[in-house]
Structure 1
Amino acid sequence: MTPEDILAGPLLDRIRGRAAGYDRDNAFFHEDLADLTAAGYLKIFVPAADGGLGLGLADAAQLQRRLATAAPATALAVNMHLVWTGVAHVLAARGDSSLGFVLKDAAQGEVFAFGNSEAGNDSVLFDSRTEAVPLPDGGYSFTGRKIFTSLSPAWTRLGIFGKDASAADGAGELVHGFITRDTPGYKILPDWDTLGMRASQSNTTVLDGAVVPAERIFRKLPVGPNADPLIFAIFACFETLLAAVYAGIGERALTLGVEAVKRRTSFKNGGRSYAQDPDIRWKVAEAAMAMDALYPQLSRVAADVDELADLGNQWFPRLVGLKVRATETARTVVDLAIRVSGGSSYFRGSELERLYRDVLAGMFHPSDDESAHNTVANAWLGPLDTP
């Protein structure tokens, strides 16, 4: 089954047709989610034997790229569900069944969201500002503030983590688990009013003693960088699927730019098409070449994850490098598309105007530009010397 079969033309057209309205109204994509659920899209990583599509990360990336050409905010939010189900899939392929319940829940229609991001936490997965307090029965109580919680109106399972400061002789331990929609002790703030990616409704989630039972605590890790397979799986799925969304934005911007150039004519040149203008042609070619360099990188990294490639200390540089390449390339291509499309693209309601706002979100996703370059430099040059 190809991405075109799963995201068939009529479905993609419906999703594209709703995107502008969601953006204008700052509304969640309820209709898109219902259509995607009916198409089995949220079961991409669920084994076929359990009623899913049984696909790997390479196919999922191509599907997300295709979805993002129609509705970037919808694709970005759906990413968060696919990250968790993808992590479960990637771990299972490596002999780790600790998140098998995620795939079973997804097979039953549960919707997962990613509640790990915290304001001011530039350690990302290697430390937490959320307090995790151990309970006598093996569960934990979580108190903290999570930002950019995509799918806020719709999730039924939220992955969270926090730090048990009392563990490891005071060094602390990072505790990962899932709460459900009916778990007491959390609230969702209606604070998502942003420049772009508006339909994702990535609201702030405030945890105030939310309890994760022992059976849904799936990892306890030391504070700081470590080689646990969970960390690799999260980075592999998060960065790859994120890159796919931004590749889709760039792809759509290039298509819109080409259509505009062919449609526009030059008054001073006697009505000739701008497709005949050498400067315009150069900009279109620049955008096309940038995208041509991104597609194989996305495909190769995703395929390497599926094929259990052993890239050693080059894995994380490959993953963060893909994310930076995708988000920066998409931003460049959207800019070029606007330049060749003329002033109409500056008006509110233009698809390129919306893509311009959506693509800016790429700079805020982890790994950010500084962190990514540090990761790559450490892999090639070793860590900085300490005084």
Structure 2
Amino acid sequence: MSAFDPTHHLPDDLLERIRERAAVHDQENTFPQQDLDELRDAGYLSILVPRERGGAGLGLAEAAVLQQRLASAAPATALAINMHLVWTGVAKVFSDRGVPGLEFVQEGAAAGDVFAFGISEGGNDLVLFGSDTDALPQSDGGYAFTGTKIFTSLAPVWTKLGLHGLDTTSADAPKLVFAFVGRTDAVVTSDDWDTLGMRGTQSRTTRLNGAVAAPEHVVRRIDPGPNPDPIVFGIFSVFEILLASVYTGIARRGLDLAVGAAKGRRSKKTGTTYSQDPDIRWRIADMALAYDALPPQIAALAADVDERADHGARWFTLLSGLKHRAVVMAKQVVDDAMLVAGGGSYFSSNELSRLYRDVLAGMFHPSDPESAHATAASAWLGPVEG
């Protein structure tokens, strides 16, 4: 097998075009439609789809590298595409483990469908383990979903929305239902995305008014609460790894910009570039030491998912910890990059200014710092008594 070449799936010229457009979408608060079109034409939406179903047949480890690369050019574009890749990644988790039910996601992605992630709900800190959305069973085996989803990235363009809701009326209720709905009059997308950063994701609020999932698009019915079902593991593993990848990509860009600034700025006091200043050298070394730890961690955990490693209950600590470390590292690296670059980085026209705002979004994605620490504490100390 030939070595994996990221430039084959994400060529340099495409990456530069995406980079050039990123500032415009941030300033205008618009969705990067041209980025999506070019990525779709390049086959990027189906990188995790098996070759036999029309995709590139890549693994999660390779997709993570590509998402780091894409995020270094346009964080909002990468984060938006992440949500589509989560579903194709979950489909890969299923097919790799012989679990049927998500073949239509793979075939749809290869055909050009855009899958959005409709899990987040305001005030629902159960996330995957519960839902305030009502899932009403239909006579044909489908479900009608009524509720509100927040942070629905790709809001203007998705063709299929993967979501969950709670069935409280069936004989075996309650059951969490995972399914996919299409765009119909029963799905209302608000134009309410006006945020500090990650503006290009257009992660708008979605209101479901009896949106129907066909029987063949009802993927899973499981008990609420922590659950070993493949849908829970698939979503959690792919989501956390790809999130860590995006924020690690932001950190890499911040580090590169800091290095460029240090080499390009010249001190009036010493007559040398700031790259010769011992304090600046220490700061950039500190940034590099922090950054260098994350790509190998991402690669190792992603490979474990691809190779079906068995970490048992430790999976959730490992995955939430990876995402948490990536975000903490990226925030610190970008903060230090601002200091290295100097006051010019404070202007909104400076790329570091945008990265500084974009990286802040990381703290709001599951697993948040509280959840990551609670998971780690339970793993090492056992559950809270009483």
- The verdict on a shared fold, with TM-score over 0.5 as the criterion, is yes
Output the TM-score relative to the length of structure 1. 0.97
Preserved CA contact (<8 Å) 2:72 2:252: yes
Check conservation: 1:184, 1:211, Cα contact below 8 A.
Answer: no
Instruction: Trace 1:141-220 onto structure 2 (pairs within 5 A).
Output: 141-167=144-170, 172-181=174-183, 183-220=184-221
Q: 1:275·1:281 contact (CA, 8 Å) conserved in 2? A: yes
Report the CA distance between 1:351 and its aligned residue.
Answer: 0.3
Q: Runs ≥4 in structure 1, deviation > 4 angstroms?
A: none
Select 1:8's aligned residue among 3, 7, 11.
Answer: 11
Query: Given that residues 114 and 158 in structure 1 are in contact (C-alpha distance below 8 angstroms), is that contact kept between their aligned partners in structure 2?
Result: yes
Mapping for residues 1-387 of structure 1, pairs under 5 Å? 1-167=4-170, 172-181=174-183, 183-269=184-270, 271-386=271-386
Q: Secondary structure at 1:104's aligned position in 2?
A: helix
> Which sections of structure 1, spanning at least 5 residues, go unmatched?
none
Contact conserved, 2:116 with 2:154, CA < 8 A, in 1?
Answer: yes
Moved more, 153-162 or 130-139: 130-139
Give the unaligned 5+ runs of structure 2: none
The one-letter amino acid paired with 1:302 is A
> How far apart are 1:49 and its partner, in Å?
2.2
Deviation at residue 375 of structure 1 after TM alignment: 0.9
Root mean square deviation of aligned Cα = 1.0
Give the TM-score of the pair, scaled to structure 2: 0.97
Amino acid at match of 2:370: E
Amino acid at match of 2:195: T
Q: How many residues align?
A: 383
Contact 2:54 2:107 in 1 (8 A): no
Q: Provide the rounded CA distance (Å) in 1 between the counterparts of 2:47 and 2:172.
A: 42
Aligned-partner Cα distance in 2 for 1:233–1:307: 13
SS in 2 for 1:89: helix
CA contact (8 A) 1:45 1:52 kept: yes
- Identity rate, percent: 59
Following the alignment from structure 1 to structure 2, what is the Cα–Cα distance between the partners of residues 23 and 349? Answer: 10
Secondary structure of 1:311 counterpart = coil
Structure 1 counterpart of 2:85, which letter? L
Supply the distance in 1 between the matched residues of 2:68 and 2:336 (Cα, whole angstroms): 20
| 1:210 match: secondary structure | strand
SS in 1 for 2:314: helix
